[in-house]
Amino acid sequence: SGQPAWAKNLNARIHAAVQDPGAFQHAFLSNLSKSLFLLMPLFAAMLQLLYIRRKPYFVDHLVLSLHHHVLSFLVVLALLGLAALPGEDWGTLPALALLVLPPLHLAASLRRIHGQGWAKSLLKAGMISFAYGFTVALTLLGLLVLSLPKV
């Protein structure tokens, strides 16, 4: 009873989503696909800022962003496939190897595009992966709230 109005509203929206999970899932997936059109250029812009002194073309980072997202989606599909296999812990090592693949690919791509050494490329790939991961997490949280039905 002592909850603020926004908390009561959020609880009511969550309760409505539990009552009709299909509508919530449809709204979330619809919003997710739209957000990817914003996230890919945002990733390219983050790369552009990271390499601002080198004056690269934005389109190069946009193409790298597309490749990085495709690889990340393939990793997610492979992880889902591993999770669907029978047994419990045999997929832990392959899953860890798969999770390391996108940052390593990004570092190798940055090294090739900008001609820097492995150390700088790995450091910058780690920095951009952390910052972008935080951005994606905030985006997903926002999408969850936006996808809740209105009451």
d(CA 122, CA 46): 16
The CA dihedral of 109, 131, 44, 49, to the nearest 10 degrees, is -100
pLDDT (0 to 100) of residue 134: 96
Largest CA distance in the chain: 61
pLDDT in tens, 74-126: 999 998 888 887 776 666 778 888 889 999 999 999 999 888 899 999 999 99
pLDDT (0 to 100) of residue 1: 61
What are the residues whose beta carbons fall under 8 Å from the beta carbon of 127, sequence distance 6 or more?
Answer: 50
Query: Mean pLDDT across the stretch 124-133?
Result: 94
pLDDT in tens, 19-63: 989 999 999 999 998 898 899 999 999 999 988 887 778 899 999
151 falls in which pLDDT band (50, 70, 90)?
confident
pLDDT (0 to 100) of residue 81: 85
